Structures are given as C-alpha cells and as structure tokens.
Amino acid sequence: MQKGVPQIMDITSIKSVLHNLSKEVLPSRFETAQQPEPNIIQFCLRGIRSQTWIEVSWNSDSPRILKIKKPEKKGAESTLSKQLRYGLKYMALVSIEQEKFERVIKFGFAKKPGDEIIKYLIFELMGKHSNIFYLDKNYKIISLGKQINSNQSSFRTISTGSIYSGPPVNLKKQPREDE
C-alpha cells in the first residue's frame, strides 16, 4: 500500500470504529462541518469531556468513517456542509445505528437527549455505491453527497426532496456462530 492511501474499511473495521465512537460521543452536540474535498465531510461533535472530529468519505476507492484530529479549515464552502451546519446547529447526536453486516450507518439527532429524533445522517459505505444523506424525521432527503438519476441506475434514483429508501439487501451468505 502506498503511503497516504487510506485502507478500505471492511465491516469489522466499521463496527470497531462505531463501537469506540459510540462510547465517546453519545450524547454530544453537533458543532460544525466542513467539506475539504468533494467526497469527504468532516464534522465536529462536542461531548461532556471532549470535542471529537469525525471524517466520512464516500469516495468509491476508499469509503470510510473515522475519528480524526482537529483539521485545518480548508475547502470552499459546500452546499452540504452549509446545510449540515444550519440544520444540525445545537442538535444532539443521540443514536448511532448499524445493523448486522450492512455497511449503512445511521446517526440520529434530536433537540436534546431523550427527545424524538428529528434529523438523520446516513452513511452508505459500499464501494462505488457509497453516499451520504441528510434527512428529516420523515426520511425526506434534505441534502446528499451525490445524486443518482434514472440514467445512472434503474433500481434506485436518489435526489433532494425524495424519500430515502435503503440500498438493496445484501444477499451474501452471512456468517454463523457455529462456523
């Protein structure tokens, strides 16, 4: 592997990162977001004891989610980062969900811990089909990483204003405990 090239995250890596993040950031307040590159978003969460920066990439070569050190401010103001800063301002991250062997991660935000979740950030870390979605409580897409029109996919078109539907179910054989 070349120096500086990120390693592709498998399901074990994703589960490990989410386990550690959950202990550190639940609950925490959303502070800010920036988009240093077209397929990368970085956002800051402030917990009781610390400030945590998270980077999510939906680049087809190396989709990933990881904790990072506080980054330098860089990159032009993107629409996605502006919408996250405006829409999640003062909101609390109250849940992080990832089911079984799916590479879909759902962050739930509420006005304060214990309240109803009213905004979601969903990260689909699935190779060339990776994407990020910012949704309201009814799963209506407010903003997203990349739009998919009917010319690009006959199965799933994705655009601002439409209702989010998850990716196709993973049909691969799942591991069993007795193996």
Question: What is the model's pTM?
Answer: 0.87
- Using alpha carbons, select from 168, 162, 140 the residue that is nearest to residue 149: 162
For 48, the enclosing helix (H) or strand (E) is none
Question: For residue 29, what pLDDT is reported?
Answer: 96
Report the greatest alpha carbon distance in the chain.
51
> In the predicted model, is pLDDT for residue 1 greater than 50?
no
Mean pLDDT of the chain: 85
> In the predicted model, is pLDDT for residue 150 greater than 60?
no
pLDDT, tens only, 91-136: 999 999 998 878 899 999 999 999 999 999 999 988 788 889 999 9
> In the predicted model, is pLDDT for residue 78 greater than 80?
yes
> pLDDT higher for 170 or 132?
132
**What tokens does 146 get?**
């990349």
Question: For residue 6, what pLDDT is reported?
Answer: 65
> pLDDT higher for 14 or 9?
14
